[in-house]
Chain A
Amino acid sequence: MTDSLLSIRGLSVEFKTELGLVRALSEVSFEVPRNSVTAVVGESGSGKSVTSNAILRLLPDTAQSSGEIELNPQDGEPVIITSLDERDPQMQNLRGGLVSMVFQEPMTALSPVHRIGDQVAEAVLCHRDVSPDVAWAEAAAMLEQVGLADAESKMRMFPFEFSGGMRQRVVIAMALICHPQLLICDEPTTALDVTIQAEILVLIKSLQRKLNNSVLFITHDLGVVAQIADRVVVMYNGQVMEIGSVRQVLKNPQHPYTMHLLSSMPGAATDFREKNKNWSDGAAIGAGTFLVEADAGRKIREFRELSP
């Protein structure tokens, strides 16, 4: 237990809707070990993003959750995130300090009206009491690390002058600048072209080794999982199907759903596919989801429905 950075124990989340409670997560438990990459893989509606949002307490007001999320930082007391008050200073310290997040869409994560350098330096100033010059220098160093050549001049540019891949590098730099112990990446490469995706994956992996932090990587792509993860959590319909090392899960899957996912991969051997084509669980619930807006402009909640 003590060697994991993050433990999720029996996490259940329900969303209130006018049609009653809709369960998004039921009894999800897994650990994120230190100094490694844990991938959570699943299709839409599997609850993988709800899980990552629950860690940073980003769920909408319509959500009711139970269970425990414990963060056990390297050099401090363990924190039960789920029992913290929203205004607790520890929460502020947690978000962007101990834990930070990289989202799918790099354009929306950056403010279009501020210079790149100011935005990255701002992240330093939010959490540490340093002079702006120091923050600027640190930002420059971090941007060099994420592979932006000639960082000093790029820091004076605006996000719209950057390509999608470069923007995602900036977002990663912002997330890493306060040396978080846990970096959550929610589908960070889904919106990117395949060649850029490869570059970003290589970058995240090498930075993780260099900085010795933990990464929780949310994705739907088993190819990405194979390339980045040490451990894999397979989720489906708000439940954990299988947990194991990346080799075990991808080369010797135990759960029929994992086999089904693998056989659905384009290019999977055809006989393997035929064998696992018609996977279904007892309730015959499929991967389709139906989303209805919860509150005007707020988070969405999910309705499950029968698969094709």
Chain B
Amino acid sequence: MSELRELTPGQLAWLKFRRHRLAMIAAGSLIFLYTIAIFCEFISPYTPEQRNSRAINAPPMDVRFFDAEGQFNFRPFVYDLELTINPDTWMREYEEDASTAYPIRFFTRGEPYEFWGLFEAERHLFSVDPNGPGYIHWFGTDSLGRDVFSRVLYGARVSLSIGVVGVGLTLFLGVLLGGFAGYLGGIFDSAVQRMTEVLQSIPTLPLWMALSAALPAAWSPITTYFGVTIILSLFGWTTLARQVRGRFLAMREEDFVVAARLIGANDQRVVFRHMLPSFSSHIITTATLAVPAMILGETALSFLGIGLRAPVVSWGVLLQQAQNYQVIVMTPWLLLPGAFIVVTVIAFNLLGDGLRDAADPYSSLRQQ
């Protein structure tokens, strides 16, 4: 098996990760979701605030290739929706009108937007003819006639990024405090230990609520966003700090770290050249598993109405607006953001599992 000899540790880890089927699928789904989030202005056919007064609480429209006669059309299309008011319930009911079809066009001009706030553009990935009367609402619309599909995509940007930004902050605090606690020991170690214990013993939700309530309502959406992220990270770092500290203590006794000290390496070299690279993989794993908690935290706060607020669109905000029993009966498609949350959280957990297995390709080598 001479091929194995030539592999770098990174390639070995990749070899192991690739065997983990579910983790590979999860990684693919996450790359897909994040790509969507990055290019949400372009991919969504409408802007999140654009209203369609002719389709209020419209159900998801089917994208079709076959028309009513069973004829195959190369270009997909949607049928127009016909609005009727139910005389008994006074509810709007929509029915497909097979006589009017709106073909879907790609790279069409539509509502102008600012891509990442950097430059203006008006091309969208797909839409129906913007100058005609047609419309396309793949996931339906809400009570104001806003396109749910577009809103889910815009929400993905906020919800998915809050996980990453929050975990980044958590990592910074956790690695810094945990690392110093593990390396320095003594009073600093005890202080950090006690602090994590206190923070971990506080019930998070009430505290989150208290802190979010303290965020001034006048703050701009972007400041609120960072405020919420910081609140979430302030309590997330404790677990990570403990793990980092534990690994630091364990690794200090590892033979190759002792060996580095014996050849005269100073503390800085021992930590940065030998210890940190060896558990960077564990840190990545832990971080991956921490992202779902962040996303769920944001969702919880927004759902309770104390996290992000409209006009910011996040999956939590979208769910908050779907917060009554009528939705479940009348407009269940408003719950679609929930499905996205579930998929994302599961994908992150599976990815974390796969990374954990691949993280230390040597664990098995040492057991000989």
Chain A residues engaging chain B, CB cutoff 8 angstroms: 18-19, 22, 44, 289-293, 296, 300, 303-306
Contacts and interface: CB of A to CB of B under 8 A. Distances in A.
A152 to B, nearest CB: 38
Interface string B349-368: 00000000100000111011
Contacts of B258: none
B225 to A, nearest CB: 39
Contact of A293 (B3, B4, B5, B363): B363
Contacts of B365: 290-292
Contact of A18 (B15, B363, B364): B15
A22 B19 contact: no
B364 A300 contact: yes
Contact of B364 (A44, A289, A293, A306): A293
A292 B364 contact: yes
A33 to B, nearest CB: 32
A280 B114 CA distance: 72
Contacts of A18: 15, 19
A292 B11 CA distance: 14
A18 B3 CA distance: 12
Contacts of A300: 364, 367
Contact of B4 (A19, A44, A306): A19
Contacts of B368: 44, 289, 291
Interface of B: 1-5, 15-16, 19, 357, 363-365, 367-368
A303 B2 CA distance: 9
Given A293-B16, A305-B5, 20 more contacts: A18-B19, A19-B3, A44-B368, A289-B368, A290-B4, A290-B365, A291-B365, A291-B367, A291-B368, A292-B365, A293-B363, A293-B364, A296-B357, A300-B364, A300-B367, A303-B1, A303-B4, A304-B1, A305-B1, A305-B2
Max chain A C-beta neighbours (<10 A), residue from B3, B4, B363: B4
A300 B364 CA distance: 8
Nearest to A293: B364
A300 B363 CA distance: 12
B1 A290 contact: yes
A84 to B, nearest CB: 30
A293 B16 CA distance: 9
Contacts, number: 31
Give the secondary structure class of A's interface. Answer: strand
A108 to B, nearest CB: 12
A19 B1 contact: yes
B107 to A, nearest CB: 42
Which 7 pairs show the lowest CB-CB distances between chains A and B?
A293-B364, A303-B1, A296-B357, A19-B1, A291-B368, A291-B365, A291-B364
Contacts of B3: 19
Max chain B C-beta neighbours (<10 A), residue from A22, A291, A304, A306: A291
Nearest to A19: B1
A240 to B, nearest CB: 23
A74 B363 CA distance: 44
Nearest to B364: A293
Contacts of A44: 368
Nearest to B20: A296
Contacts of A289: 368
A306 B357 CA distance: 28
A196 B348 CA distance: 51
Contacts of B5: 305
Max chain B C-beta neighbours (<10 A), residue from A44, A290, A292, A306: A292
Contacts of A290: 1, 4, 365
Contacts of A306: 2
Nearest to B1: A303
Contacts of A22: 1
A22 B1 CA distance: 9
A119 B365 CA distance: 32
